Chains A and B, each alone.
Chain A
Amino acid sequence: MRSFPFTADVYFSLFDTYNDTIWPAQLVAYGLGILAVFLTLRPVATAGRIAFAILSAFWLWNGVVYHLLHFFEINFAALGFAALFTLQGLLFAAIAIGGKRCFRFQPDILGWSGMFFCLFALLAYPLLGWMAGHGWPRAAAFGVAPAPTVIFTFGMLVMLEGRVPLYLALIPLLWSLAAGSAAVFLLRIPEDWSVLLAGVVGFGLVACKRRQQATSRSS
């Protein structure tokens, strides 16, 4: 049975309209994403605050503008996703306001993995979409569409300095499993295999980092 309320064609048509409506927000989102990655390489005093504010802006935008104002038109489940994305955005905003956490790229396996996730979201995901026939303007653009945003978030979380709060990775995990599996198995969107994998591997890396830090602390 294909009990899913819309087709892949309609899904990408929605992006067509959405991208047209929000232009040039996509360019701003790319700029902010590049800035967040840059800040993991060159940490300055307020780097953590700025990077968390960027993540917060991405998630709040996806919750309100994408899910509530656009995706809800074709999928009633978008209401639930809107609430979850907004909650995640508020969590990031709270940490940004607290100003005590920052992201830092470390040249180890976890650091390179995090960087890979970020660059994948910025560069590889749109390329895969284009190769699958979902290029601009029917593309899920970085920062303003959930798939690349979630992949990017996992990358940033893996590069978070100190212990990563598990609650920060829960909503990205839930979304990547739910939306990723629907996209891959029901809508047959090949590039969204990466969303599904990012959820599983990204959450695994966050858990691995927590364990690594717990071990080093106890020793």
Chain B
Amino acid sequence: MNSLTRRRFVGSIATLGATVALPALGQGPASGANLKKAIPSTGEQLPAIGLGTWITFNVGSNEKLRAVRAQVMQSFFDRGGRLIDSSPMYGSSEAVIGYGLAHVKNRGALFSAGKVWTPFKPLGINQMENSRKLWGVERFDLMQIHNLVDWSTHIETLKAMKAQGRVRYIGITTSQGWRHGDLERVMRSEPIDFVAFSYNVVDREVEERLLPLAAERGIAVIINRPFQEGVLIERLMHHPLPPWAVEIDCANWAQFLLKFIISHPAVTCAIPATRRVDHLEENMGAMRGRQPDTKMRARMTRYVETV
């Protein structure tokens, strides 16, 4: 069985498993149980909410601000979180994650998702090693090519690193809609485990091609910018939640928006970023309770379009 065939086989089983694992609308889930999704290439389970660090963790060397981010990380792990995502592009975020990991009590569950963001092979190798040291991890669970920067060079490095066991999964990301065509070509041509792009209740272009393609190719999907960098949630917070939001156990807009994302069968994980423990608690709550079905997702879309 070649790797792609195995990947497709495992992916199909995993996608099916993830779909089955979704608590159906109207059925009560086990209280406190987090929604987990399978990584298609291995079947490994990941909590459906991760932690992004763009802007929010870039606090420099200020001890007070670093300590607050460490509290956010502690709360994340305490609530069953695993995947933390960062990039050398995010200023001091990687160093702040390293600070947090050194100060939290239970970092054992960490699923580290780093990125390479530079042209040229030697610079990429140096950057990934520097990131590893900043995080203070033995190896990254996932290494991604950030915004497709020099992807044809780095993909060969990442494939070699994966073969050597220096990274468990490899992937590629973009947060730019105009790069979706390029991303699709990489998804079709390279044996990647993960892909990351933007998706939310108002930016749904990826439902047409990228999400179905990820499901077809057995690629795990990380969703970045679930709140449009806060713009979406600020727009909605001036409006009341619809009364029917209780049917999917939403207590706030963050959960409404995140449940919409993680209930898509092809989505593995969303990575909202936050600097506040109370916001993190809201975000993590989206993994619990009933999740929207297809009909409810359409209702959510229509509602947001009217407010």
Chain A interface (Cβ < 8 Å from any Cβ of B): 1-7, 10, 13-14, 16-17, 73-76
Q: In the complex, which of the residues A1, A2, A13, A76 contacts B59, with contact meaning CB atoms closer than 8 Å?
A: A13
- In contact, B58 and A74 (Cβ under 8 angstroms): yes
The distance in angstroms between the C-alpha atoms of A76 and B88, with both chains bound, is 9
Determine the distance from Cα of A96 to Cα of B83 in the docked complex, in whole angstroms.
Answer: 55
Query: Across the interface, do A74 and B92 meet the contact criterion of CB distance under 8 Å?
Result: yes
CB neighbors of A among B58-99 (8 A):
58-62, 64-65, 88-92
Cβ contact within 8 Å between A10 and B59:
yes
A80 CA to B69 CA, complexed, in Å: 28
In the bound complex, CA of A16 to CA of B64 (Å)? 12
Output the nearest chain A residue to B89 by Cβ-Cβ distance: A76
Give the A-binding residues of B (Cβ under 8 A).
54-55, 58-62, 64-65, 88-92, 228-231
Q: Which residues of B sit under 8 angstroms from A4, Cβ to Cβ?
A: 55
Cα of A10 to Cα of B62 in the assembled complex, Å: 9
Can you add 9 more A-B contacts, CB < 8 Å, to A76-B88, A76-B89? A1-B228, A3-B229, A5-B91, A6-B59, A7-B55, A10-B62, A10-B65, A13-B64, A73-B91
Q: Are B62 and A1 in contact (CB under 8 A)?
A: no
Question: From residue B56, how far is it (CB to closest CB) to chain A in Å?
Answer: 8
Contact of A13 among B60, B89, B90 (CB under 8 A): B60
* Number of inter-chain CB pairs below 8 Å: 49
Asked whether A6 and B62 contact (CB < 8 A) given A74-B92, A76-B89, A76-B91, the answer is no
Chain A residues whose C-beta falls within 8 Å of the C-beta of B64 in the assembled complex? 13
Residues of B within 8 A of A13 (CB): 59-60, 62, 64-65
14 of the cross-chain contacts (CB-CB < 8 Å) are A2-B229, A5-B54, A5-B58, A5-B89, A5-B90, A5-B91, A7-B55, A10-B65, A13-B59, A14-B62, A17-B60, A17-B62, A73-B61, A73-B91
The answer to whether B58 and A6 touch across the interface, beta carbons within 8 angstroms, is yes
Closest-CB distance, A69 to chain B (whole angstroms)? 11
Q: Please, which residues of chain B bring their CB within 8 A of the CB of A5?
A: 54-55, 58, 89-91
Query: Complex Cα distance A50/B20, Å?
Result: 76
A16 to chain B, nearest CB (A): 7
Minimum distance in angstroms from A145 CB to a CB of chain B: 15
Report the minimum CB–CB distance from B219 to chain A (whole Å): 25
* Cα separation A10 to B228 with both chains bound (whole Å): 21
Distance, CA A24 to CA B38, complexed state (A): 57
The answer to whether B60 touches A73, judged by C-beta atoms less than 8 angstroms apart, is: yes
Select A16's contact among B55, B58, B62, B88, beta carbons within 8 Å.
B62
Bound-state CA distance A14–B91 (Å) is 13
A13 to B64, CA, bound (A): 10
